[in-house]
Amino acid sequence: MLVWFVVIYIALSIAIGLAASLRVRNSVDYITAGRHLPLPVVFATVFATWFGAETVLGISGTFLDEGFAGLISDPLGASLCLVLFGLFFAKPLYRQKLLTLGDFYRRRYSRGVELVTSICIALSYLGWVSAQVVALGLVFNILSEGAISREYGMIIGASVVTLYTLFGGMWSVAVTTFVQMIVIVGGLLWIAFMANDMVPGGVSHVVQHAAGAGKLQWLPDFNAVEIIAFIAALLTMGFGSIPQQDVFQRANSARTENVAVWGTVGGGLAYFLFASVPLFLAYAATLIDPTLVERVSERD
């Protein structure tokens, strides 16, 4: 039954994406949704910039293994990146009426710089996209109880996203993301309430247990190696992802420059706060059914 709900969800995502593609008339519509996106949609697309399969499954697994110490880059660094972009870069870049971030480098420097930076930006996505696709494959594999292999699950997930993105560009991405975020946020909160009832003591017990296991320590030990590693992890994502096409494209698709600013800042803050829900669910699962968690971790 659950698999069929997933099939219906995927079919609806494709249908919504293809329907949104009817609004595409030119390259501006395709790349920036005609710069017509309202605040709620910009907020949702920015929030969804990194909140996907890798966040729900990837950082949850990292938290179980390393605690908060393993999450400095994501979600802390990722949230910092979005907030900084919104506060300091969204408005100046929006006013330049660019299509891509590469256009900025061409105007400011030269076509050669545009080419080099665009290639670097494209290559930098390989690891992140790979993590998303692998996590999608794992979801299909688990939900189908092994009937769909992880490899075929990866192909299915990547094909669905590519299909509606190819036809509708940013319009399809924006509309499907808005709907998907409502479903994902609502679903995770519902599961969190259920998990809260299943664990004696609820959230407070989960937090106390995690703290006792040393999972809630953010700051590094006071030695040079730990401090340098902490700063590197934070700044790599927090500063290094600012000049990225996905962040820029979402802000640049906003209806006004103020929508670009506050949609980006709000989305970044929401990402940081809501990333705690998958962490709570993952740790609560270790208290509810540790055998299941161990079995899933072996497949991850």
Query: Looking at residue 126, what is its pLDDT?
Result: 85
101-136 pLDDT, tens digit each: 999 999 999 999 999 999 999 898 888 788 778 878
Q: Is 300 a residue whose pLDDT tops 70?
A: no
Cα 95–Cα 96–Cα 98 angle in degrees, nearest 5: 120
Query: Looking at residue 107, what is its pLDDT?
Result: 94
For tokens 């995927």, name the residue: 10
Mean pLDDT of 72-82: 92
Longest dimension (CA), the chain: 62
129-170 pLDDT, tens digit each: 887 788 788 888 887 877 888 889 899 888 888 888 888 899
223-252 pLDDT, tens digit each: 899 999 999 999 998 998 899 998 999 999
Which CATH number goes with the domain that contains 286? 1.20.1730.10
In angstroms, rounded to a whole number, what is the distance separating the alpha carbons of residues 23 and 176?
Answer: 14
Question: In total, how many domains does the chain have?
Answer: 1
Verdict on whether the full-model pTM lies above 0.95:
no
Q: Is the peptide bond before 75 cis (omega within 30 degrees of 0)?
A: yes
Chain CA centroid to CA 134, Å: 14
Mean pLDDT of 178-187: 89
User: What residues make up the domain containing 278?
Assistant: 2-299
